[in-house]
Structure 1
Amino acid sequence: MAVEFRAGQNAPLATPSVRFTATASVPVDLCALVVDTHLQVASSQDVVFYNQPQTAGVRLDGDALVVEPGRLRPDADRVLCALGTEQVTPVDTTLTDTAGTPLATFRIEPVAGETALLCWEIYRRGGDWKIRALGQGYAGGLAELFTAHGVEVDDPEPATPPAPQEVPPLETGATCVRMWQIFEDASRSAAAYVSAHEYAHHRLDEELSAAVADPSARTGDAAEQARARAHRRCDELIAAAEVRYTDDSEQLISELAALEGALPAALASWDAPAWRRPGEAADGVRIGEVTAPDRGPLRVPFCVPVPLGRPLWVDGDAEAAAPVASALALRLLASRPGSLLHVVDPAGAMRQLTDLAGSLLAGPPVHEVAGVRAKLKGLADAADLDALAASAGDAHHPEPRVLVVSGLPHGYGSDDLLHLVRLTQLAAAQQISLVMTGTEDEGVDSPAYRILAEAAQHVPSDEGRFVDPWTRTDWQFVSDTGPSDPERIRAVVRSLECRRQEI
Structure 2
Amino acid sequence: MTAELVRGQNHPLPHTRLEIRVTAGAPVLACVTLADAGGTVPGTEWIAHPGSPTLPGVEVSRQAAAALRFHVDLEAVPERVHLVHVLFALPEGVGGPDRFGGTAAPFAAVTSTDGTEIAGFTLTGLDTESAVVALELYRRQGAWKVRAVGQGYAGGLAALLGDQGLPEARACAATIQEAVARHLASAVQAPLPAAPDGARARPDSPAPGPAAPQPGPVTPPPAPPGPVPPQACPPTGAGGAVNYTHPGRRTSTPPPPPPAAPPAAPGQPPRPVAGDATGWSMDERLYNQVWGMFEDLARAVAAYRSAVDFAESRMEQELDRVLSDPRNRIGRAGDTAREAARAKHDELTARAREVLDRDLAQLTAEAEVVEPALPAAYAGWDNPVWHAYRVPMEIPMALRLGDVHLPERPDLRIPMLVRLPLERGLWIDSGRLGSEAAMTMDEDRLRRLAMDTAVVHAARLLAVYPPGEFTVHVIDPAGAGAAALAPLTSSGVLDGPPAAGAAGVSAVLAKLTQRVDLVQMAVRGGAAESLPPDLDTAEQLLIVNDFPHGFDDRAVTQLRYLADEGPSVGVHLLMVADREDAHAYGPVLDPLWRSLLRITPIPDSHLADPWVGHAWTYEPPTVPQGSRVVTQALGQVAAARRAWRR
Q: CA deviation at 1:388?
A: 3.5
Deviation of residue 251 (structure 1)? 1.8
1:306 maps to amino acid: L
Give the TM-score normalised by the residue count of structure 1: 0.62
Check if 1:381 corresponds to 2:514.
yes
Tell me, which stretches of 5 or more residues in structure 1 are unaligned? 5-89, 93-157
Contact 2:398/2:420 (<8 A) preserved: yes
Report the alpha carbon displacement of residue 220 of structure 1 after superposing the two structures with TM.
4.3
2:427 matched residue in structure 1: 313
| Partner in structure 1 of residue 390 of structure 2 | 278
Aligned residue in 2 for 1:228: 339
Correspondence 1:454 to 2:454: no
Q: Is the 8 A contact 1:268 1:286 kept in 2?
A: yes
**Contact 1:401–1:433 (Cα < 8 Å) also in 2:** yes
The answer for the alignment partner of 1:411 in structure 2 is 550
AA of the residue aligned to 1:319: R
Q: For residues 290 and 499 of structure 2, what CA distance do their matches in structure 1 show?
A: 36
Partner of 1:393: 527
Give distance in 1, aligned partners of 2:384 and 2:639: 15
What residue number does 2:359 align with? 248
Question: What displacement does 1:377 show?
Answer: 1.0
Code of the aligned partner of 2:517 = D
In 1, Cα distance between equivalents of 2:365 and 2:600: 28
Task: Write the distance in 1 (CA, Å) between the matches of 2:374 and 2:642.
Answer: 22
Q: For the structure 1 residues 467 and 386, does the alpha-carbon distance in structure 2 shift closer, same or farther, using more than 3 Å as the test? A: closer
Compare 199-208 and 223-232 and name the one that shifted more: 223-232
Aligned positions of 1:60-459 closer than 5 A: 159=266, 161=268, 164-168=271-275, 171-172=280-281, 174=284, 175-275=286-386, 276-280=388-392, 281-316=395-430, 318-338=447-467, 339-358=470-489, 359-390=492-523, 391-395=525-529, 398-441=537-580, 443-445=583-585, 449-459=589-599
Distance 2:316 2:635 in 1: 61
Deviation at 1:218?
A: 3.9
Equivalent residue letter for 1:445: Y
- Which one of 628, 633, 641 corresponds to residue 487 of structure 1? 628
Question: Hey, what's the Cα distance between the residues in 2 that align with 1:208 and 1:446?
Answer: 52
Q: Determine which structure has the larger strand proportion and give its number.
A: 1
With 317-326 and 446-455 compared, the bigger mean Cα shift is at 446-455
Q: Distance in 1 between matches of 2:353 and 2:268?
A: 23
| 1:478 corresponds to 2:619 | yes
Calculate the aligned-residue CA RMSD, in Å.
3.3
State which structure, 1 or 2, has the greater radius of gyration over its C-alpha atoms. Answer: 1
Using the TM superposition, give the Cα deviation of residue 486 of structure 1 relative to its aligned residue in structure 2, in angstroms: 6.0
Aligned mates of 2:270, 2:545 — CA distance in 1: 52
- CA positional deviation for 1:226: 3.2
Deviates more, 1:481-490 or 1:266-275: 481-490
Distance 1:495 1:267, change over 3 A: farther
Q: Quick one: which amino acid aligns to residue 332 of structure 1? A: L
Q: Residue type of the partner of 2:507?
A: A
Q: TM-score, normalised by structure 2?
A: 0.49
SS of match in other structure, 1:408: coil
Structure 1 residues 482 and 401 mapped into 2: Cα distance closer, same or farther (>3 Å)? farther
Q: Tell me, yes or no, if the aligned pair for 2:430 and 2:601 is still in contact at 8 Å.
A: yes
Distance 1:267 1:355, change over 3 A: same
Q: Deviations over 1:375-402 (max 9, x none)?
A: 2212222333344444443357812232
| Cα 1:190–1:313 shift into 2, 3 Å | same
Following TM superposition, by how much is the alpha carbon of 1:331 offset from its aligned partner in structure 2, in angstroms? 2.2
Deviation of the 1:469 alpha carbon: 1.9
Shift of the 167–473 alpha-carbon distance from structure 1 to 2, 3 Å rule, reads same
Aligned counterparts of 2:271 and 2:408: Cα–Cα separation in 1: 30
Change (3 A) 1:285 1:483: farther
Aligned mates of 1:160, 1:478 — CA distance in 2: 36
Amino acid at match of 1:466: L
Partners of 2:614 and 2:269 in 1: CA distance: 33
Q: Following the alignment from structure 2 to structure 1, what is the Cα–Cα distance between the partners of residues 595 and 117?
A: 38
d(CA) in 1 for partners of 2:377 and 2:481? 20
Matches within 5 A, 1:49-60: none
Q: Deviation of residue 296 (structure 1)? A: 4.5
Change (3 A) 1:183 1:160: closer
Higher relative contact order (CA 8 A, sep 6+): 2
Q: Distance in 2 between matches of 1:354 and 1:290?
A: 26
CA distance in structure 1 between the partners assigned to 2:270 and 2:595 by the alignment = 49
Counterparts of 1:349 and 1:237, CA distance in 2 = 56
Q: How many angstroms apart in 1 are the aligned matches of 2:288 and 2:501?
A: 40
Q: Deviations over 1:429-483 (max 9, x none)?
A: 4323321121224643388744422322222332242232211222222333555
Task: Quote the offset at 1:322 in angstroms.
Answer: 0.6
**Aligned residue identity for 2:597:** Q
Q: 1:337 to 1:220 in 2, by over 3 A?
A: same
1:269–1:414 Cα change, 3 Å: same
Q: Check conservation: 1:346, 1:406, Cα contact below 8 A.
A: yes
SS at match of 1:401: strand
Percent of aligned pairs sharing the same letter: 30
Show CA shifts across 1:198-229 (max 9, x none).
Answer: 11111111222233233334444454333222
Deviation at 1:347, TM superposition (A): 3.5
What does the per-residue CA deviation read over 1:24-77, in whole Å, with 9 as the maximum and x for residues that have no partner?
xxxxxxxxxxxxxxxxxxxxxxxxxxxxxxxxxxxxxxxxxxxxxxxxxxxxxx
Q: What is the alpha-carbon distance in structure 1 between the residues aligned to residue 544 and residue 627 of structure 2? A: 22
CA deviation after TM superposition for structure 1 residue 422, in Å:
3.5
Q: Deviations over 1:395-443 (max 9, x none)?
A: 5781223221112112211222233233334433432332112122464
In structure 2, stretches of 5+ residues that fail to align are: 4-115, 119-264, 432-446
Count the aligned residue pairs. 352
* Residue pair 2:314, 2:345 contacting (<8 A) in 1 also: yes
